[in-house]
Structure 1
Amino acid sequence: MNRLSSEYPKDPRWSEQRGGRNSPIVEATRSWMLMRDGTAHRRLRGLANPVFTAKAIREMAPRVTGIVHRIMDEMGSGHDIDLIGRLACQVPVTVFCGLGGLPVEDRDLCRKWTDALGHVIDPSVDETTRRAMNDAAAEFGDYIAEHLARRRANPQDDLLSRLLLAEFDGERLSDGEIIANVMMFFMGGHETTVNLIGNGMLGLLRHPDQLRALREDPGLIDDGIDELLRYDAPIQLVARIATEDIQVGDRTIPAGAKVMILLGAANRDPRRYTDPDRLDLRRPDVRPLSFGGGPHYCIGALLAKSEARLVFSELVRRYRDITLSHEDVVWRPQVNIRGLSELRVDLMS
């Protein structure tokens, strides 16, 4: 038995903080593979896995490349351009609308919902975020249900259709499970990719030698993406519940205790990485924990990394000079998700 559980919706206090057991957001999270353990988790993941395999991501690459190029064409060049709003936020939600079978013209609406849903994994929630995440869960759920009904009548080559038809050990997903996990995919794919692009670009701008190295050898991004993930992780921590007493050094974590696992700190452990506070795209043997590990390793990690590689490659190809417009940057006020509210840059073609 795993000594740590992800099933936070079973915790009455956690559920109550988010609106109660029957609130839209808590009902949704009870079906998220992110918050299931054991057989239930394996079933959900097994049904969704084929959409996120390396082969599937390779087949998707031309479509993603076209999306990145179109968004950068719209962004253009000039002074004081917000790289978060104009690029980083646009790419993943546009890709996932296409992948998921949702209209691309609704990407801003989907992004509004996923921004609100992201607060569900915050260690604490206030009344404003609680109301926003429940409104988003209800509205997004109804929206996905409408498109799911259309796909049932007319299947396409997209995530909704594949999840409707998928079988694992003779079982299929219920409509509620599909709706909840499509929400989760949008939220997870959006948060990780936006912050990987934003945090990674800020890291390169503050280490001009590394940005210069990437210009001289664009192939560095193939492995260098893991260094960007290590240096400034989009997800800084994950939370678990101890299912039994666990001994760590001379301390005992009692069964039932909440455990915060600091991924960002582990990524900069000096026992694992020499000079860990330095960004080095040529750093050998980089294995960041930014996407978690074990059974709950992020199912969309390959897609997020593929999108980010394309973005960084195109940025250095397209712009001869990229500089910060302002030294001061604004971070989003969240504990576990580390990302910029905006990143103002000057882009010279």
Structure 2
Amino acid sequence: MARTAAPVPPPSLADGVRAPEWDDGLDCWVVADQRLAQQVLNHPGFASGTFERSFQLYMTDEARAEYRELTEFLRLWFVQADAPEHTALRRPVQRMLSASYVRSLAPRIEEITDECLTGLAAASPQDVMPHVADGISGRVMAHVVGLDVPPPVLHRWSRTLSLFIGAMYRRDYARAAHEVMVEMGEALTGAKALEGFPTDTPEDRARTTATWAMCLFGGLETTASLLGSTLLTALGDRELWARIRADEPGAVTDLVESVLVTRPPLRHLGRVVAYDQEIAGERLREGDLVLVSLTGQGPLDDADPADAPAPAVPAAAVCPVTGATAAAEPAGPERNLVFGHGPHYCVGAPLARLEAALLLRRLAARFPHARLTDEAAVWGPNLSYVGLDHLYVDLGGEN
């Protein structure tokens, strides 16, 4: 965890802003108010090195020694660094994933999407998640990085790392994550995305490999979740689906943005208190973990779905974690924090948005009579990630 040279004034709380709260069960501070969350995500008093602190808190000395190679690999992810190191490491990746480059990918993403939809049409049952959401996100990231690795393998890597990051005290998760780290390193050797990145020394090679492993990880699970939730929302509202089929101006982009608000794939980001400070009478100590909500909810704020009033849309279209249904009104990018905020804003955000928009357009063009089946959605929620394990549809025949 990098400390600032000198403390700066802590984030300020405007009237009505919810102060940070200590959660005994999670043993960390929770920032649920989005106005305060924006400040925390962009404030030098909160560092990004949550992995390092989590290794200390949740792994035994023996586990840290045994899996030192794994912990070093994760420490090298540039999202775990702060300025100026983060700025320097992020810049070449950001240049590579520029807006013009992402736009240039559209024809290839359309091809991948059509191929995945063809596979979905031939499947029984027609499950969006493995055939389309995992397929598109995996094949797009393989194309961007330059890997010849199928989506099921890529998603196995990502999910294995997710399990370890979420439960570092589990030795079995650490063992599996270490094996995945080795597989990823071998697969990334010679990948086209690594060209032009430093590889002269062992340290350079380790950093470059970790950087692109992180990019792979970031472009898989959350994107697959966004794709699944986008289709669930679209097909769960027949009026909305009619607008998309008719290609009404703004219908697709507005829907993608509304899904990012109502069903964000990632619910929280972690930070570490960089030095002792006080916010709204709460004393935050150096080294305390902070869970920053990207949704405006704390981790325990969500009501039991069984207790919620009957929704106006099919029950399968209601997220059991957030209780969210489709958002009818447009929601601009500034209305959500799902891609982060400030210097750590996700470099892959334009790519994820493009994949979701192209999927909606290609599905509507090819399968305008698609619908959700009964009990279509099978959710696989946890504390931070919100996504579908399965989404069953009936494509209704090709146009």
Aligning the two structures, in what range does the TM-score lie when normalised by the shorter sequence?
0.7 to 0.9
AA of the residue aligned to 1:175? R
Structure 1 residue 323: Cα displacement: 2.3
RMSD: 2.9
Specify the alignment match of 1:154 in structure 2.
none
The percentage of aligned residue pairs carrying the same residue is: 24
Give CA deviations for 1:292-317 in whole Å, capped at 9, x if unaligned.
Answer: 11111111111111111111111122
TM-score under structure 2 length normalisation: 0.74
Specify the alignment match of 1:112 in structure 2.
156
Q: 2-side partners of 1:67 and 1:162: how far apart? A: 27
User: In the alignment, is the contact (CA less than 8 A) between 1:227 and 1:288 conserved in 2?
Assistant: no
Write out aligned runs for 1:174-189 (5 A). Answer: 174-189=204-219
Matched, 1:297 2:339: no
Write out aligned runs for 1:1-349 (5 A). Answer: 1=4, 2-11=44-53, 12-14=55-57, 16=59, 19-20=63-64, 22-76=67-121, 80-104=125-149, 106-122=150-166, 125-145=169-189, 147-148=190-191, 158-164=192-198, 174-219=204-249, 220-265=251-296, 277=324, 279-286=326-333, 287-327=335-375, 329-349=377-397
AA of the residue aligned to 1:182? W
Structure 1 residue 125: Cα displacement: 4.8
3-state SS of paired residue (1:240): strand
Give CA deviations for 1:160-186 in whole Å, capped at 9, x if unaligned.
Answer: 224359xxxxxxx81111111111111
Larger Rg belongs to: 2
Relative to its length, the structure with more helix (as a share) is 1
3-state SS of paired residue (1:338): coil
AA of the residue aligned to 1:87? V
Q: 2-side partners of 1:123 and 1:214: how far apart? A: 40
3-state SS of paired residue (2:107): helix
Specify the alignment match of 1:170 in structure 2.
none
Structure 1 residue 20: Cα displacement: 1.4
The farther-off stretch of 328-337 and 287-296 is 328-337
AA of the residue aligned to 2:226? L
Structure 1 residue 74: Cα displacement: 2.3
Structure 1 residue 188: Cα displacement: 0.7
The runs of 5 or more residues in structure 2 that have no matched partner are 5-43, 302-322
User: In the alignment, is the contact (CA less than 8 A) between 1:321 and 1:348 conserved in 2?
Assistant: yes
Structure 1 residue 265: Cα displacement: 2.9
Q: 2-side partners of 1:25 and 1:101: how far apart? A: 23
Cα–Cα, structure 1 residues 278 and 330, in superposed 2: closer, same or farther, change >3 Å? closer
User: In the alignment, is the contact (CA less than 8 A) between 1:9 and 1:15 conserved in 2?
Assistant: no
AA of the residue aligned to 1:300? G
Q: 2-side partners of 1:88 and 1:112: how far apart? A: 14
3-state SS of paired residue (2:272): strand
Q: 2-side partners of 1:328 and 1:67: how far apart? A: 24
Q: 1-side partners of 2:396 and 2:171: how far apart? A: 43
TM-score under structure 1 length normalisation: 0.84
3-state SS of paired residue (1:264): coil
3-state SS of paired residue (2:126): strand
Q: 1-side partners of 2:124 and 2:262: how far apart? A: 27
Cα–Cα, structure 1 residues 127 and 10, in superposed 2: closer, same or farther, change >3 Å? closer
Q: 2-side partners of 1:78 and 1:29: how far apart? A: 37
Cα–Cα, structure 1 residues 245 and 46, in superposed 2: closer, same or farther, change >3 Å? same
User: In the alignment, is the contact (CA less than 8 A) between 1:238 and 1:260 conserved in 2?
Assistant: yes
Give CA deviations for 1:270-327 in whole Å, capped at 9, x if unaligned.
Answer: xxxxxx9553354254521111111111111111111111111111221122222232
3-state SS of paired residue (1:327): strand
User: In the alignment, is the contact (CA less than 8 A) between 1:79 and 1:325 conserved in 2?
Assistant: no
Give CA deviations for 1:124-148 in whole Å, capped at 9, x if unaligned.
Answer: 5533322221211122112223x35
Q: 2-side partners of 1:295 and 1:123: how far apart? A: 27
AA of the residue aligned to 1:210? L
Structure 1 residue 244: Cα displacement: 2.2
Q: 1-side partners of 2:84 and 2:262: how far apart? A: 34
AA of the residue aligned to 2:384? N
User: In the alignment, is the contact (CA less than 8 A) between 1:117 and 1:133 conserved in 2?
Assistant: yes
Q: 2-side partners of 1:261 and 1:123: how far apart? A: 18
Structure 1 residue 236: Cα displacement: 0.8
| Count of matched residue pairs | 327
